[in-house]
Structure 1
Amino acid sequence: AMSISRSSRAAQGLFRRLAVTPGAALRNTAPASWTQVAGVTSVAYRGAVAPGVRACVNPGFAAGAVRTISVEALKPLDSFERRHNSATKADETAMAQLVGFDTMDALVDATVPTDIRLAAEMDMGQWTKPLSESEFLVTMKTMAAKKPGV
């Protein structure tokens, strides 16, 4: 019998994986089925590794490697502020110290006149309480759904 190199076997396996229609089961007896979610195709093993966790194989990269995905990892991160205001408290303190102040509050106290600053929190009615990114999106979608013609 002719021996097939490891790279040839890998290429043949990759071709077989790519030739299967996403969403179609490989075989009734196969331990895995193809799924396509948001443009990403993966092999998902039947059954769960643990409650709320599925094992998935990404056929295009490291075929045979198993990766577990926690349901918790799919929940909203509410990381808008961190993504868009990347300075941490330590960064803010370092910046304030660079210009001669111990904290950002000390910098603001020294540079913004007290007669133009609010002593209390601004009352903005229902919008006074800050919303997380996911809370904001739900609120806006709810408001948009109430508008006629949308």
Structure 2
Amino acid sequence: MDKLTIKEAAQALGVSEKTIRRMIKDGRLKASLEKSVYGQQYYIPKSEIDNAVQIVEAVKVKKEYSVEELAVAISNYLSERDKKLVEALEILNQKIEKIQKENQQLKEELLKLQEEHFRKIDEKLTQWRQENKKKGLFSFLRRQ
């Protein structure tokens, strides 16, 4: 027979019937829609199956990995991830240090401003006391 049904093509290629239908729909397999006892059915030329076998075999090449190879791959991935995390942590620590320095500078500036403010208050209070000392203790009563 020069043509295969979808089921026969799937068995020949070692894939599901759904995959064969998808390959036909995508244009990766040429097929003709013909009448059969069950209604319309796709038929795939044998030459298409031979070409598809070569493609499927090329795609199916799998590499089996040993436990050691997987362990090395995972270790490499984790090392790279850890390296990136350490770099990010260093950047964050630098930002924290910068913010702490700025915070310390602001505290020092605030302390200087408070000291200046209290100094001015002390000066005014001292000036007021001296002015009132000259007038006497009960000078505020004389104004009345």
TM-score (norm 2): 0.23
TM-score (norm 1): 0.22
Compare CA radii of gyration and give the structure with the larger one: 2
Say which structure, 1 or 2, has more relative contact order (CA 8 Å, 6+ apart). Answer: 2
* Greater percentage in helix: 2
